[in-house]
Amino acid sequence: MRPFDEMLETDGTVRMAYAQFGEWLEGASKEFLTRKNDEADMMFRRLGITFTVYGDAAQTERMIPFDIIPRILDPQEWDYLARGTIQRVDALNAFLDDVYHDQAILKAGRIPPELVLNNDAFRPEMLDMDLPRRIYAHIAGVDVVRTGPRDFFVLEDNVRTPSGVSYMLENRQTMMRLFPELFATNHVAPVERYPSELRANLRSVAPIGVDDPTVVLLTPGQHNSAFFEHAFLATEMGIELVEGQDLFVDDGLVFMRTTEGPKRVDVIYRRVDDDYIDPLAFRSDSMLGVPGLLSVIRRGRVTLTNAIGTGVADDKAMYVYVPEMIRFYLGEEPILQNVPTYSLRNKDDYKYVLENLESLVVKEVHGSGGYGMLVGPKSTKKEREEYTKRLKADPDAFIAQPTLALSTCPTYVDEGVAPRHVDLRPFVLSGQRTTVVPGGLTRVALKEGSLVVNSSQGGGTKDTWVLER
């Protein structure tokens, strides 16, 4: 069966959201699209929007391919997605506050305690700390896939240091420059306010007693794959972009080294992982963090966003319990569905997965970026045999899900315009309120038939339009 297509009904008629765009696309010649595609390519190169590919000996800088055909959502679809993702992030924040305090959900027997307490991402250092506004995941990127008109599934909740929002913003800029005529006829909800919303949110979680907080963005440095995004967001928010070496702890406070001497820092939007954030508390070989930072956080004299220890909520093993969290903390039914998930720690599931590898997607519990996963239907017999060895060696480290027929979206490729599989990552901000900017990052698997949208695995991005009523 053909997968759901974002633009076309099964009979070939154009869906509502694409009505205007479809007409325009029909009138666009292959030459015109090719020229626009080249122009877009040149614009990204000139801006220097690149990312670093890990595991490549040369650490080459590459560009994430940008596709000139937008992914369009109608107002109803977006409303549903917005409510669903906000609900999820609210529940995840409540869960984090709970597991680092009373652990009511564990006491109530709704989640096996060992799954939380023995989890590598669970940080005992965070126990009994009261965070401003009780928020842990200030920035979340919820990955959503679609299989039908009203069938949206959450694939994963990214509440550590989710990236990609700069592409949401730059892709829009690029589209507005390439196709101004499209924005005149389509009423596309603006995404440009994201940086100022983020800035307001970061300021709203400053330590108590700080009226005019100094906010900084902490980056691992310019060789990190997402450095462009870090610099971009710092510019857009008008805050300093710091590295670990620029910060130091003195007298129970965090300071940055400036040309006018040490300056106190109140909120750190960090894009450095937990393990590397403080060599005195976590990995001692880390050069990216700030020695003594944890002690200042624990005294509530600096706020780290996202908080340390959020990883226990977006773990692939914990994912199964998010609907339960929504019921437990919010007393609501989940708006967005989970993908059915088999945990290999469970005996029945284990047996089922080994027998049905060919139809499943298997992922590492702690993996990310599309590395180390097995896409059953696309795998060779040899790959499955290799993978089985790994599963048998450490079943707890894996989960499996049915291979979803991800929706497709028309995409510019060498042969013309053809359907390619897509997902969507809206960005949810928590501070004074929980909000989500209308849009997000649409990732597209550019290879025909491929279901892997990660940029590290040959995926591209598209501008995401939410039409206004």
Partner 1 sequence: MLSRTADNLYWLGRYVERAENTARLLAGTQRLSLMPIPTDEAGNLWRNLFQSEFEENAFLAKHSEFSETPVMEYMALDPENPSSIYSCVHGARENVRAARHVLTTEISQCINETWMEVKKCRPQDVIDRGTQNYLDSIKERAHLFRGVVHGTMRRGEPFMFWELGAALERAENTSRLMLARSAAFHRAAKRDDGFDFYRWGTFLRTANAYSAYRQLYRDIDPVSVADLLILNTQIPRSLLSCIEDSAEVLRNLKREAQCAAMAERLASELRTMRLDTILRSGLEGFLHDFRKQVHVLSDQIRVDFIMVR
Among 55, 109, 124, 261, binds partner 1 (CB under 8 A): 261
Q: Is position 45 an interface residue for partner 1 (rule: CB under 8 A)?
A: yes
Number of residues that bind partner 1 (CB under 8 A): 25
Neighbours of 438 (CB within 10 A): 22
Q: Tell me if residue 442 falls in helix, strand or coil.
A: strand
Q: Does 53 bind partner 1 (CB under 8 A)?
A: no
Among the candidate windows 91-99, 238-246, 364-372, 427-435, which touches partner 1 by CB under 8 A?
238-246
**What 8-state DSSP symbol labels residue 304?**
E
Stretch that binds partner 1, among 81-89, 255-263, 276-284, 434-442 (CB under 8 A): 255-263
For partner 1, give the closer residue by CB, 239 or 422: 239
Which residues in 84-115 are b (16+ Cβ under 10 Å) and which e? bbbbbbbbbbbbbbbbbeeeebbeeeebeeeb
Hey, what amino acid is at 258? Answer: T
Q: Return the closest-CA partner of residue 288 out of 305, 280, 296, 276.
A: 276
**Nearest partner of 256 among 272, 233, 239, 237, judged by Cα:** 239
Segment 60-89, which members bind partner 1 (CB under 8 A)?
none
* Least separation in angstroms between CB 168 and partner 1: 17
Least Å distance, CB 300 to partner 1, is: 24
Tally of CB atoms within 10 A around 387: 18
The span of 31-39, 132-140, 258-266, 315-323 binding partner 1 (CB under 8 A) equals 258-266
Least separation in angstroms between CB 85 and partner 1: 29
Tell me whether residue 461 is exposed, middle or buried, using C-beta atoms within 10 angstroms of its C-beta: 0 to 12, 13 to 18, 19 or more: buried
The answer to the question of residue 227 lying near partner 1 (CB under 8 A) is yes
Q: Which of 10, 13, 29, 259 binds partner 1 (CB under 8 A)?
A: 259
Measure the CA–CA gap between 327 and 266, rounded to whole angstroms: 35
Q: Which stretch binds partner 1 (CB under 8 A): 75-83, 239-247, 282-290, 323-331?
A: 239-247
47 is an interface residue for partner 1 by CB under 8 A: yes
**46 counts as binding partner 1 under rule CB under 8 A:** yes
Question: Which CB atom, from 3 or from 262, has the smaller least distance to partner 1?
Answer: 262
Angle at 425 between CA 444 and CA 219, to 5 degrees: 105
Residue from 35, 110, 187, 257 binding partner 1 (CB under 8 A):
257
C-alpha triplet 408, 78, 330: angle, nearest 5°: 120
Q: Say which DSSP state 63 is in.
A: P
Quote the tokens at residue 314: 């977006």
Least gap, CB of 362 to partner 1 (angstroms): 38
Measured between alpha carbons, how far is 395 from 387 in angstroms, rounded to an integer? 11
Judged by CB under 8 A, which stretch of 30-38, 241-249, 276-284, 397-405 contacts partner 1?
241-249
Per rule CB under 8 A, is residue 240 in the interface with partner 1? yes
One of 59, 76, 222, 359 touching partner 1 (CB under 8 A): 222
Binding site for partner 1 (CB under 8 A): 45-48, 222, 227, 231-232, 234-235, 239-243, 245-246, 248, 256-262
